[in-house]
Amino acid sequence: MKVGVPTEIKSDEYRVALTPVGARELAEHGHDVLIEKGAGEGSAISDSDYEAQGARIVPVEDVWADADLILGVKEPQPEEVGLLRSEATLFTYLHLAPAPKLTRSLCASGATCVAYETVEDRNGRLPLLAPMSEIAGKIATQAGAFMLEKPLGGRGILLGGVPGVPPANVMIIGGGAVGMHAAFIAIGMEADVFVYDTNIDRLRELDIAFGGRASTVFSSVLSIEERLPQTDLVIGAVLLHGARAPHVIRRSQLKLLKSQAVLVDVAIDQGGCFETSRPTTHRDPTFEVDGVIHYCVTNMPGAVPISSTYALTNATLPYVIALADHGIAEAARRSPGLRLGVNVAGGKVTHPAVAEGVGMEYVPAEEALGLGTPSGDGAAGADGAGATASRASPGAH
Ligand SMILES: NC(=O)c1ccc[n+]([C@@H]2O[C@H](COP(=O)([O-])OP(=O)(O)OC[C@H]3O[C@@H](n4cnc5c(N)ncnc54)[C@H](O)[C@@H]3O)[C@@H](O)[C@H]2O)c1
Give tens-digit pLDDT for 150-206.
Answer: 999 999 999 999 999 999 999 999 999 999 999 999 999 999 999 999 999 999 999
- Which protein residue's CA is at the shortest distance from atom 7 of ligand 1? 133
pLDDT digit string, tens, across residues 360-390: 999 999 999 999 754 444 332 334 333 333 3
0.85 surpassed by pTM: yes
Contact assessment for residue 39 and residue 71, using Cβ atoms and an 8 Å cutoff = no
Share of the chain above pLDDT 90, in %: 92
User: Cβ atoms within 10 A of the Cβ of 300, count?
Assistant: 27
CB 239 within 8 A of CB 245: yes
From the list 111, 76, 108, 109, the residue with the least C-alpha distance to 92 is 76
Ligand 1 atom nearest residue 199's Cα? 37
Distances (CA, A) of 342 to 54, 151, 337: 29, 45, 10
Which of 112, 2, 176 minimizes the C-alpha distance to 347? 112
What distance in angstroms lies between residue 63's CA and the mean position of ligand 1's atoms? 33
Cα 163 versus chain centre, distance: 38
Answer for the pair 236, 249: CB distance below 8 angstroms, yes or no.
yes
At residue 118, φ and ψ (nearest 5 deg) are -115, 5
Cα(176) to ligand 1 centroid in Å equals 6
Q: Is 85 in the pocket of ligand 1 (CB under 6 A)?
A: no
Q: How far is CA 385 from CA 25, 144, 211, in A?
A: 17, 30, 26
* 197 in catalytic set: no
Q: Confirm whether 269 is a catalytic residue.
A: yes
Give, for ligand 1, the residue of 238, 240, 273 to mutate: max count of ligand atoms closer than 8 Å to Cβ.
Answer: 238
